[in-house]
Amino acid sequence: MKKHRKQGFTLIEVLAALGIIIVLTLTLFVTIRAQLQKANDENLKSVAAAMNMQIAVAYEQVGRNDSNFSNIASLQSSGIITAEQADQAAKLDYNAGAKPPEFTVK
């Protein structure tokens, strides 16, 4: 007599494997999302630091015009910050009353 050997996987085994794959995928997705947010936050901090340095240099120039520091548009039009930096500045707080003016992360 020959014994029939079971071939393949049972439905329970397939569902268990699928469940494990789903849990691992979700964990990976959440981790990647958190790392992307952290990278974006760090990038925003470095953009703010660069703009603050550019503002400080322009602020210390002889014969400066204080109206150049009144808002983000005037900073861009006077050439203190670039258009790309002005786009990023929308995500930051601008304190025009500080001496020199500065950007801070919200």
- What residues have CB less than 8 Å from 82, skipping those under 6 apart? 76
CA 64 – CA 14 distance, rounded (Å): 72
DSSP at 82: -
The stretches of 1-106 forming alpha helices (DSSP H) are: 11-59, 72-77, 83-89
Q: What is the pLDDT of residues 78-102, one digit of tens each?
A: 999 999 999 999 999 999 888 889 9
Tens digits of residue pLDDT in 12-64: 999 999 999 999 999 999 999 999 999 999 999 999 999 999 999 999 988 88
CB 51, CB 85: distance < 8 Å: yes
Domain residue spans in the chain? 42-106
What's the predicted TM-score (pTM) here? 0.74
Q: Which two tokens stand for residue 62?
A: 């002889």
